[in-house]
Amino acid sequence: MPDSIKIRKGLNINLQGKAEKIFIKAKRAELFAVKPTDFHNLLPKLEVAVNDKVKAGTALFYDKYHPDIKFTSPVSGTVQAINRGERRRILDVVISPDEEFEYQEFVQADPSTLTREEIIHYLQSSGLWPAIRQRPYNLMANPSDTPKSIFISAFDTSPLAPDYDFLLKDLNSEFQTGINALLKLSGGKVHLNLDSTYPASTVFANAKGVQINKFNGPHPAGNVGTQIHFVDPINKGEIVWVISPQDIVTIGRLFIQGRYDASRIIALTGSEVKNPRYYKSIAGSCIRSLTDGNVREGNQRYISGNVLTGTRVSQNGFLGYYDSQITVIPEGNHHEFFGWFSPGLSKFSISRSFLSKLVPRNEFRIDTNIHGGKRALMITGSFEKVFPMDIYPMQLLKAISIEDIDLMEKLGIYEVVEEDFALCEFIDTSKTDIQTLVRKGLDLMYKEMN
């Protein structure tokens, strides 16, 4: 393998509002929530009721198909609400926190001395098992499976993404302890993937027991799916697990402290944020605790995650389980008169349609307008310019559209998830909801293969 894997196809989207590298302690949120909707294909069964008292680490619900997998409260307090949607689907379990947190006690242990089964049980009962996801299908990992490898992307190239070197500063012990637990779970190597364009922090560079791979290039070089494709591609019948660096730290704290400490660093980003910075917060917190008084007036779009793959939330919404970023951009609810005819010095374009292409280092203020109407999926050749995998993206999307399972297999459906097509959706002249289409294909394959 070369010293550094060069990703040649892709696209960097330079947006205004990158978080300044300053740690700010966020004010305590008034409410916290755990959302079953963050976990695809989950059928939750409640273990609490409204007005129940819970500790940090107390089980709120479990997976009907895997009752040992618990989803636990990030804080101690009182269950204030259990909100439901259509057909009584549980949307979130809302907790009103105590002034001083109480923690569910777990046994402190060195994962290096535990068996694989003991580690799995420990992660399931504490609520940290859902942090591990599997490829293919992008679902919560099945504890009865043994993956051929585990992948960790230690850098993110998506727009305004947080800097993991900064997020995990001085957390060497917690990160290594989490790695030691993963080493027992993997049937092969644990791959730690770094950005070769700058020296990695000691947290990653000094990690023991892992296979370090280096990448460089435009987004999606930081996507774990891209990294898997170039290092250890997924074939039919194979399983790879993935996990984020902050979740590894939380696992490490669990073994070191014997409790579920859900504290994490959140990057508040976006052009509509007055002071984009990093905030010390807690998983599942109401985003108002971070955005209150720090967002410009106007009609804004609040996103848990990044602008390409994040989830739209309300101003009083909650941080997603897998997210370390909140983005605020203008809502695109206006029309541009002859917008295509303007010089476009402040407009982002992948083509040479606007003069902004002459100033590639510009930072752009982009809203949510789709700039055109939806139309049939057209072959333009643009997807291949931003899709780095050795897969035909347009042909795969068409196979999904007609639900041709054999063709989907041949075209590489097992290697992709929604986020791998985010750039294709961004530049698509047909305005197709491509990530939803990919999810439809993955669900169909999962149903057929399982």
Given this model, what pLDDT does residue 305 score?
97
Question: What would you report as the CA-atom Rg of the chain, rounded to the nearest whole angstrom?
Answer: 22
445 touches 408 (CB < 8 A): yes
Q: Is 80 within the bounds of a domain?
A: yes
User: Is 289 among the domain residues?
Assistant: no
Between 372 and 153, the higher pLDDT residue: 153
* Chain centroid to CA 177: 22
Last residue of a domain, one of 97, 125, 146: 97
Residue 87 lies in a domain: yes
Question: What residues have CB less than 8 Å from 75, skipping those under 6 apart?
Answer: 32, 56, 95, 97, 98, 101, 262, 282, 284
Judge whether 443 lies within some domain: yes
Residue 376's pLDDT is: 72
Confidence check: pLDDT of 350 > 80: no
Domain span at residue 418 reads 383-449
In a domain, 342, yes or no: no
Distance between CA atoms of 380 and 401, rounded to whole angstroms?
18
Domain harbouring 66, CATH code: 2.40.50.100
Give, in order, the Cα–Cα distances in Å from 145 to each of 140, 241, 347: 11, 10, 47
Kindly list the distances between the CA atom of residue 366 and the CA atoms of 101, 122, 346, in Å, as whole numbers in the listed order: 40, 44, 9
DSSP secondary structure letters along 97-135: EPSS--B-------GGGS-HHHHHHHHHHHT-GGG-EEE
Model confidence at 339: pLDDT above 60: no
| Residue 208 forms part of a structural domain | no
- Alpha carbons 245 and 261: distance in angstroms, whole number: 15
Residue 15 resides in a domain: no
Is pLDDT of 274 > 80?
yes
pLDDT at 380: 81
**Cis peptide bond upstream of 220, omega within 30:** yes
What is the predicted pLDDT for the residue at 361?
A: 60
Contact 91, 111 (CB under 8 A): no
- The residue among 97, 126, 144 that closes a domain is 97
**pTM (2 decimals)?**
0.94
Quote the number of domains for the chain.
2
Q: Do residues 123 and 247 touch, judged by C-beta distance below 8 A?
A: no
- What's the mean per-residue pLDDT of the chain? 93
Instruction: Give me the pLDDT at residue 112, please.
Output: 94
Question: Is residue 276 a part of any domain in this protein?
Answer: no
β-partners of residue 34 are 93
pLDDT digits (tens, 9 = 90+) for 105-122: 999 999 999 999 999 999
The residue from 69, 97, 125 where one domain ends is 97
